[in-house]
Amino acid sequence: MNAHESTDLEESMFVAEPLGVEDPRVHPAWLPPEAFRALGARRVLVHGDGLLVDTVLDEVTRACTRYGGRVWHSPSWDVEVDLVLTLRDADELPNSAVEAARSAAEAALVDVADGATLGDEGFLLARAGELTVVLADAPAGLLYGLFHVVRLCAGAFDPARPPELHRPALRRRMLNHWDNVAVHPVMGQVERGYAGGSIFWAGGRPRGDLARIREYGRLLAASGINAISVNNVNVGRAEAMLLTDRLGDVTEIADVLRPYGIRVHLSVTFAAPVVLGGLTSADPFDEDVRAWWAATTRRVYERIDDFGGYLVKADSEGQPGPFTYGRDHADGANLLAEALAPYGGVVHWRAFVYNHHQDWRDRSTDRARAAYDHFAPLDGRFRTNVVLQVKFGPVDFQTREPVSPVLAAMPATRIAVELQVTQEYTGQQRHVCHLGPCWSEVLRFAPWGPGGRTIADVATGEAGTGGGLVAVANTGDDLFWTGHPLAQANLYTFGRLAWDPRLDATAVLDEWMTLTFPPSATAEPELVRRTLHEIMDDSWRTYERYTAPLGVGFMVHPGDHYGPDVDGYEYSRWGTYHFADRDGVGVDRSRASGTGFAGQYPPYWADVYESPQTCPDELLLFFHHVPYTHVLHSGSTVIQHIYDTHFAGVEEVAVMRRRWQTLNGMIDPTVYERVAERLDEQVRCATEWRDQINTYFFRKSGIPDARGRRIH
């Protein structure tokens, strides 16, 4: 629409209903129509131009059509409005009230931020007399501002609301889909996917449901996410071809997500010059290889001019990499970065590199050490458009791990922190496990010691040049997007924490509840809210209580990683052992007598972790092998702690289920039923965990439960 075309959109624009409103295939998640009621009942003026401004208009128009409000786009006559969404550099409007509101917002900006720029994605929300104003420098800021108004509901129109400035702390807030194009014989359509098939791919082809992808983009934008990789980091033949012959499939996705400010990235195989280009080598120092990447990347940008870049898993779990050619990972990453640089693209290079053919008899090799050993010596050698993507913990997304020491070891490298929203090790979206508190702990951790810079600061980087936050997606073609309806909260929370890592995880959960279960459409809203908090707030710690104890990790069933199997990985090649014997349990990672992993931390934490006397209880068995009679800071012995937490964890899950039952009849019955089924499974599985873990350690240690409960 032309900027100065003055149109009453209510009358002239045809806007399709968002998917999910009339379409029973999909739940609207945190954007149900009801969440737009406060906005949709208002008179709204949108001023500015651009693709994302059109998206704002589209959203506002739909809401107003439904709830009786009105919308104008840059009108050239006087209109009375309640909300103005305007770009700062948009022309003056012949409307004195609106112009007064814009000046008031500018003045508010001087007050709250010394008139600073709002940036590519930031916005200011302010009251100006009877009006609410959202001011942005760029269209994406206007879109984020709109979703903020939606989140605030009627609060956005509160005359007493002070001005608020919002700018994302992290520039890139990215989701990685581990979606296969072709169905993998073991991993299926989505590797570690617990929400049905892929939104993007089905049986070797694009899934073709562009309306659903668009709806997904909407949800992601409303949570703050602005980048996505659309295929698995394990790249097979069909997936490799997305870079060349099947680039059109990626272009189509990029076109659909662009109006929501989401840039598309692609996982590529390091062997692409061989696999796709017919070269005999993929050696980063080979001129033909460099030329192949340059030409291939140019063709990508010819089709997708805002393409985000490449994501690479190299020399890891069977994926090819630079080691084949005697090169290191800086050489490998820089090769791709060089090809992307002319277009402003980045390469996300994963630090998840370890020996997955370890001999369990070899006590000197420690998987936890691997990423640091490989990457820390390379600090300073990566090009500026390389982002080193580091899993938050040193092993593999366990329920409890220390923060990876790599995050503090590479000050001259752009670092992204990788989280896992898909619940591979945290209940696979059959269990309620709200991960916000876990991620907040990670992001607030100060690796150089209390009061120092945090992990969020590392991801932000100096002057915002950090690599951002990345997470493995938990979504699929399931009716509820995420399998477990309450797992939607994890995706929402990831986006919000990536926008602002200082947010309180429980407050974010509350936001999600208000949007997903709008009070105006819910019988007994306070009861629903309270019950959801009781079920979800502490659910990560509950999950921790009934699974592997005190940070030792794994103990899951090999392969599918679901349910208990205490020794399942104990004699395997994967390097994830607990070393339980009749006297004690845990991995000695101290410098003095163990693998030395504790020494990879800056001095403060290296000292804390070095000794069982100072190591925090929740990580004790990650760092130390201790007798079952070792007394924790809590005052309990290790063995009694194992018994107590496992009995408590199952009781907590039983209480969750009872609480959920009190919501029967108060919320959408399809949501109610799905969660109820999954809570039955959670109770069953938690009971299995409790009994296997308690029995295992009772048999190993011979020490009875001090409280005489039944152990088999």
Which residues would be at the binding site for ligand GCV (CB under 6 A)?
A: 178, 191-192, 233-234, 313, 352, 396
8 A C-beta contact, residue 705 and residue 563: no
Q: Where are the beta strands (DSSP E) in 230-338?
A: 263-267, 309-312
Phi, psi dihedrals of residue 190, rounded to the nearest 5°:
-125, 120
3-class secondary structure per residue, 335-395: HHHHHHHHHCCEEEEECCCCCCCCCCCCCCCCHHHHHHHHHHHHCCCCCCCEEEEEECCCC
Least gap, CB of 535 to ligand GCV (angstroms): 28
Q: Is 424 considered catalytic here?
A: yes
Residue closer to ligand GCV, measured from CB, 100 or 187: 187
Tokens 């002239």 sit on residue: 12
Query: Residue 616's CB: how many other CB atoms inside 10 A?
Result: 15
Q: Which of 424, 478, 511, 588 is catalytic?
A: 424
Least gap, CB of 468 to ligand GCV (angstroms): 18
Bridge partners of residue 415, in order along the sequence: 388
Rounded-to-integer distance, Cα 18 and Cα 4, Å:
27
Q: Is 681 considered catalytic here?
A: no
Residue closer to ligand GCV, measured from CB, 202 or 371: 371
8 A C-beta contact, residue 339 and residue 297: yes
8 A C-beta contact, residue 74 and residue 90: yes
Name the strand (E) or helix (H) holding 8. Answer: strand 7-8
Which of 693, 576, 697, 689 is closest to 629 using CA atoms?
697
Tokens of 355: 């020996």
Rounded-to-integer distance, Cα 3 and Cα 204, Å:
42
Residue closer to ligand GCV, measured from CB, 505 or 552: 552
Query: Residue 698's CB: how many other CB atoms inside 10 A?
Result: 18
Bridge partners of residue 84, in order along the sequence: 45, 133
Q: Which of 137, 338, 366, 396 is catalytic?
A: 396
- Sheet architecture: strand order including 123-128: 7-8, 70-73, 43-47, 83-87, 131-136, 123-128, 164-166
Least gap, CB of 435 to ligand GCV (angstroms): 16
Least gap, CB of 556 to ligand GCV (angstroms): 10
Residue closer to ligand GCV, measured from CB, 323 or 343: 323
Least gap, CB of 329 to ligand GCV (angstroms): 15
Least gap, CB of 281 to ligand GCV (angstroms): 25
**608: which residues sit within 8 A by CB, 6+ positions away?**
614, 615, 616
Least gap, CB of 238 to ligand GCV (angstroms): 16
Rounded-to-integer distance, Cα 121 and Cα 683, Å:
43
Rounded-to-integer distance, Cα 43 and Cα 46, Å:
10
Residue closer to ligand GCV, measured from CB, 86 or 229: 229
Phi, psi dihedrals of residue 327, rounded to the nearest 5°:
-105, 165
Q: Is 396 considered catalytic here?
A: yes
Which of 176, 179, 141, 235 is closest to 468 using CA atoms?
176
Least gap, CB of 267 to ligand GCV (angstroms): 9
DSSP SS3 for 583? coil
Least gap, CB of 610 to ligand GCV (angstroms): 28
Residue closer to ligand GCV, measured from CB, 121 or 396: 396
Residue closer to ligand GCV, measured from CB, 130 or 560: 560
Bridge partners of residue 132, in order along the sequence: 83, 127
Handedness of CA 691, 694, 698, 699 (dihedral sign): positive
DSSP SS3 for 228? strand
Residue closer to ligand GCV, measured from CB, 304 or 368: 368
Residue closer to ligand GCV, measured from CB, 346 or 472: 472
Least gap, CB of 191 to ligand GCV (angstroms): 5
Q: Which of 5, 17, 245, 317 is catalytic?
A: 317
Residue closer to ligand GCV, measured from CB, 192 or 545: 192
Which of 231, 298, 232, 226 is closest to 263 using CA atoms?
226
**435: which residues sit within 8 A by CB, 6+ positions away?**
419, 421, 423, 426, 490, 493, 540
8 A C-beta contact, residue 95 and residue 69: no
Indicate which residues carry an active-site annotation: 317, 396, 424
